[in-house]
Amino acid sequence: MKRRVVVTGLGAITPLGNDLEKTWQGMLEGRSGVGPITAFPAENFKPGYAAEVKDFKPEQYVEKRKALKMMGRNIQLALAAAQMSVADSGVLESVDRTRMGVLLGTGMLNADIAELGKAVRASRDENGEFDMSRFGEAGSSNLFPLWLLRHIPNLVSSHIAILYGAQGPSNIITTTCTSGAQAIGEAARIIERGQAQVMLAGASDARIDILSMVKYRKLGIMTTDDRDPSTASRPFDSEANGFVCGEGAAVLVLEELDHAKARGAKVYAELVGIGLSTDAYDFIRQHPEGRGMQLSMKRAMKDAELNVDDIDYISPNGASIPDFDIAETRAVKAVFGERAKKVPMSAVRSMIGHTHAACGAIEAVVCVKAINESVVPPTVNLDRPAAECDLDYVPKTARQMPVNVALSNNFGFGGHSASLLFRGMEARV
Amino acid sequence: MKRRVVITGLGAVTPIGIGVDKYWEGLVNGTCGISTISRYDVSSFATKIAAEVKNFNLGDYSETNAETSQLDRRIQYTMAAAEMAIENSGLALKGDHWIDTGVYLGAGEGTANLDEFADMACRSGNGDPTVDLPKFVLNTLDIYDGAAAFLKESNMPAAFIAMRYGAMGPVSNCLTACAASSQAIGEAYRVIQRGDADVMITGGAHAMTGPLDLIGFSQLSALSQNNQDPSTACRPFDAKRDGFVLGEGAGIIVAEELSHAIRRKARIYAEIIGYGQSNDAYRVTDMHPEARGAIRAITAALDEARVAPESINYINAHGTSTVENDKNETMAIKAAFGDYAYRLNISSTKSMTGHLIAAAGAAELIATTLALQSDVIPPTINYCNPDPNCDLDYVPNEARERRIRAAISNSFGFGGQNVSLVVARPEF
């Protein structure tokens, strides 16, 4: 008998709010979390906007000030989301900590420019040029001794494991924009195999920094439009021309169904299908027919023993990158056939931007909320759909509707695809 | 009926040899790959040594083009090791079988381009020691190579394997510090076991031998400072050990479902029979003082393998040459094996290759597999001074011939990450 994996806790911190309630409310109201960049002085940079998490106070989630200095922003955001999710689940009272694990996705962390810049500038020769023969000493004396620890990706998971004494399996997935979805999928497999009863699964990312933003700008995948920031992210719209950089974190408590029942937990949904693939096409562009996306959706449905008629809602990748949006639309049409136009598919990235590694986790939470509250968030800024983008993207306003099965799709740079299927609990227990 | 997973192909790029044959020859002969760093001026660094890959040219091992020749070393090592492993496995390089083939690596990020950063930072002054950030933005827009930076993402080695062969199965990358590629192999084994793929290309790559890596680990007091005599700097389990030595490289294995391998008459090196994984949940850089996580990982791997402890004849230790790791790993082996621990052959091949960080586990599982194949145990070199905290048999200085039925490879990482893999001789 296969063990079943259910969601019993939710936590999120996003550009729309520093907890899930505010985030979800913002989504249903169709608000935008995009605003002027405050993370660095952006007067010389276009775009001057991004989807930042606002007024985040990490000391709320980390007792020791000293510990905060070792944590990059993605670690801090993950700790916040994890604590909110664990509190929501009430799982701590009854879980064996050796059977509890942490499995998150995260992104690449760039250097703290002010700090590393100072270390580099202290290593200049008489002509003002960088001199490696001085850097060993001058670099060391100008860098915070534990700076490296802010940049080790798995510490995102480890700080959470340490906080809870969670000694079960832990991992960190770094597959860019599919990290969160893959982390949730892999965590579910661990429970399915019986190697943990509870997994904290999700992702965090924080890339609103100079090096990342310049990188995305140069690659031509981020919008630089001079327009009202709240209208800059416009998935599936004819004026979409790149993503808006976002940041955030979401963590789900995944639990073995019997364990959840035994402790009388509230169960939000069951994770019934996981499908992974790559399109093996290009390190940045999507295969034009979305062949990887087609495979991941089909594999998830096969895994869940469901077909397209069972699916009520799709949370798409919807990155606001024209080629991606079109490839994704084509892939959904190829897999869903006639049903494609009947399944609402709304992109929350229209409101929170592209949160990179975190998006899969945040969008998984969106699917679970949609199932539980019988409402799906809108795709805002969808004024005039792009050519070929003729599906039901739930434009502008949220829609009340029953959702029993929701499909969350994520597609990442490097060609990764991940599809997750969540199902409500009433229908079949 | 559980699906069984075997290793059918091996490829390695290491500081002691490129290609599995040269790597193995180096290991058996006790060759040390550590020397003074050659790629940049290390005169002002506290640690000046590392295990660099020497005389590497991607074109010798894989097709190259204008794009691949620009890739960072870590991706190039991956491409070479993957090509060797796949050729070694006998799988056709192209064909429909790749649609369901996956990739799971534990690859690190690409080495930061410090010269480029320094150029941007040095031009962004304002008459004081700090960087003027608005100026830095302008200089970054002017100088920064966005595409090169983008390719430093840790998923890129896996993505390049997928693109090269058309692998469209599950593709993932985990980055659990020094345990990453062992964990990747363990997870690839799970993917095949579950039936989500018949073949997985797995392993890892890393090239953490750059100036920022050297400073970062030095500041954590983790590195050996034996700059005078680099080839003796890495001395796992020896009483005079003073830290690990950074290394670089890639290890790739082809993992395959047993009946799939038999059907195509593949050469089977070994079977993966156990994978244990845990977290210390103790501290960020320190291991748990009683090695609770390491014990749990080893024990879980042994339980899954369903072999008597006495069937394990060799442990390829994590053996970093830090005071703490080698002591705690010894403690964990004793806790997991009891009295039999004293009869085990244990060696740290890091004494020769240095610490390949994310790639270490893959390189070491390859060493373990080759040991199993040839009934020869590679030595722990530089072992001269017994440490009372490390009183097991570390196969000092000379390779040893010994029948090996099953063997373990351990990997432990910062953040309390512990992985043990058990491999066995194929039984047919």
pLDDT at B232 over 60: yes
Nearest C-alpha neighbor of A349 from the set A374, A306, A319, A387: A319
Helix (H, G, I), strand (E, B) or coil at A147: helix
Contact A385, A235 (CB under 8 A): no
pLDDT of residue A109: 77
DSSP A83-133: HHHHHHHTGGGG--GGGEEEEEEE------HHHHHHHHHTTB-TTS-B-HH
Contact: B415, A164; criterion CB under 8 Å: no
- pLDDT tens-digit profile of B31-59? 999 999 999 999 999 999 999 999 999 99
CATH architecture of B5-112+152-424: 3-Layer(aba) Sandwich (3.40)
Active site residue B318: yes
Domains of chain A: 5-110+151-427 (3.40.47.10), 113-149 (no CATH)
Helix (H) or strand (E) holding A146: none
Contact: B125, A175; criterion CB under 8 Å: no
**B residues 182-221 lying closer than 8 A (beta carbon) to A:** 183, 187, 190, 194, 196, 211-212, 214-220
**A residues 269-298 lying closer than 8 A (beta carbon) to B:** 276-284, 291-292, 295
Which residues lie below 8 Å from residue A44, measured CB to CB, with a gap of 6+?
Answer: B134, B135, B137, B138, B141
Torsion of CA A225, A226, A231, A234, to 10 degrees: -10
Contact: A168, B279; criterion CB under 8 Å: yes
Helix (H) or strand (E) holding B369: helix B360-374
DSSP state, residue B70: G
Active site residue B174: no
- pLDDT tens-digit profile of A288-347? 999 999 999 999 999 999 999 999 999 999 999 999 999 999 999 999 999 999 999 999
pLDDT of residue A39: 97
DSSP state, residue A419: E
Residue B248's pLDDT band, with cuts at 50, 70 and 90, is very high
* Environment class of B123 (CB within 10 Å of its CB; exposed 0-12, middle 13-18, buried 19+): middle
Per annotation, catalytic residue among B174, B288, B355, B390: B355
Sign of the dihedral through C-alpha B145, B148, B151, B154: negative
Nearest C-alpha neighbor of A111 from the set A47, A204, A228, A207: A207
- Tell me which residue in B147, B180, B417 faces A219 most closely, judged by beta carbons: B147
pLDDT at B258 over 90: yes
**B residues 350-389 lying closer than 8 A (beta carbon) to A:** none
pLDDT of residue B209: 97
Chain B positions touching A420 (Cβ under 8 A) are none
**B-interface mutation test, from A92, A124, A174, A420, most B Cβ less than 10 A away:** A174
Token pair for A386: 């792009």
Q: How far apart are the first and last CA of chain A?
A: 14
Q: Read off the pLDDT of each residue in A26-34 and give the average, rounded to a whole number.
A: 98
- pLDDT tens-digit profile of A130-174? 999 999 999 999 999 999 999 999 999 999 999 999 999 999 999
Chain A positions touching B102 (Cβ under 8 A) are 276
Contact B77, B248 (CB under 8 A): yes
- % residues pLDDT > 90 (chain B): 95
d(CA A407, CA A363): 10
Tracing tokens 């995260």 back to the chain, one arrives at A106
**A-interface mutation test, from B38, B105, B168, B185, most A Cβ less than 10 A away:** B168
Q: Read off the pLDDT of each residue in A28-42 and give the average, rounded to a whole number.
A: 98
The answer to whether residue B144 neighbours chain A at the CB level (below 8 Å) is: yes
Residue B212's pLDDT band, with cuts at 50, 70 and 90, is very high
Chain A positions touching B299 (Cβ under 8 A) are none
DSSP B271-319: EEEEEEEEE--S-SSSPPTT-HHHHHHHHHHHHHHT--GGGEEEEE---
- pLDDT tens-digit profile of A375-399? 999 999 999 999 999 999 999 999 9
- pLDDT tens-digit profile of A329-340? 999 999 999 999
Chain A positions touching B215 (Cβ under 8 A) are 135-136, 139-140, 143
Helix (H, G, I), strand (E, B) or coil at B417: strand
Nearest C-alpha neighbor of B11 from the set B161, B151, B208, B152: B161
pLDDT of residue A356: 97
Contact A286, A277 (CB under 8 A): no
For residue A253, give how far its alpha carbon lies from the nearest alpha carbon of chain B (Å).
18
d(CA A404, CA A416): 27
Helix (H) or strand (E) holding A423: strand A416-423
Per annotation, catalytic residue among B32, B174, B178, B234: B178
* Greatest Cα pair distance in chain B: 73
pLDDT of residue B67: 80
Query: What is the pLDDT of chain B when averaged over all its residues?
Result: 96
* Environment class of A68 (CB within 10 Å of its CB; exposed 0-12, middle 13-18, buried 19+): middle
Q: Read off the pLDDT of each residue in B327-353 and give the average, rounded to a whole number.
A: 98
Nearest C-alpha neighbor of B321 from the set B399, B384, B403, B254: B384
- % residues pLDDT > 70 (chain A): 99
Which residues lie below 8 Å from residue B144, measured CB to CB, with a gap of 6+?
Answer: A211, A214, A215, A218, B116, B120
Per annotation, catalytic residue among B206, B260, B288, B318: B318
Residue B428 burial (CB count, 10 A): 7
Residue A429's pLDDT band, with cuts at 50, 70 and 90, is very low
d(CA A188, CA A196): 9
Nearest C-alpha neighbor of A349 from the set A124, A33, A113: A33
ipTM value for the complex? 0.97
**A residues 156-195 lying closer than 8 A (beta carbon) to B:** 157-159, 161-162, 164-176, 182, 186, 189, 193, 195
pLDDT at B428 over 60: no
- pLDDT tens-digit profile of B119-164? 999 999 988 889 999 999 999 999 999 999 999 999 999 999 999 9
Which residues lie below 8 Å from residue B92, measured CB to CB, with a gap of 6+?
Answer: none
* Environment class of B267 (CB within 10 Å of its CB; exposed 0-12, middle 13-18, buried 19+): middle
The answer to whether residue A141 neighbours chain B at the CB level (below 8 Å) is: no
- pLDDT tens-digit profile of A247-299? 999 999 999 999 999 999 999 999 999 999 999 999 999 999 999 999 999 99
Domain assignments of chain B as residue spans, ordered by start: 5-112+152-424, 114-145
Query: What is the pLDDT of chain A when averaged over all its residues?
Result: 96
**Angle formed by the axes of helices A155-164 and A73-89, nearest 10°:** 40
pLDDT at B395 over 70: yes
Active site residue B384: no
What is the identity of the amino acid at B393? D
Residue pairs between chains A and B whose CB atoms are closer than 8 Å: 288
Q: How far is CA B348 from CA B289, B316, B408, in A?
A: 21, 6, 12
pLDDT at A428 over 60: no
Token pair for B294: 């390491």
Token pair for A139: 């670099």
Contact: B146, A218; criterion CB under 8 Å: yes
- pLDDT tens-digit profile of B70-102? 899 999 999 999 999 999 999 999 999 999 999
Chain A positions touching B277 (Cβ under 8 A) are 169-171
Q: How far is CA B68 from CA A56, B110, B151, in A?
A: 41, 14, 11
- pLDDT tens-digit profile of B417-426? 999 999 999 8
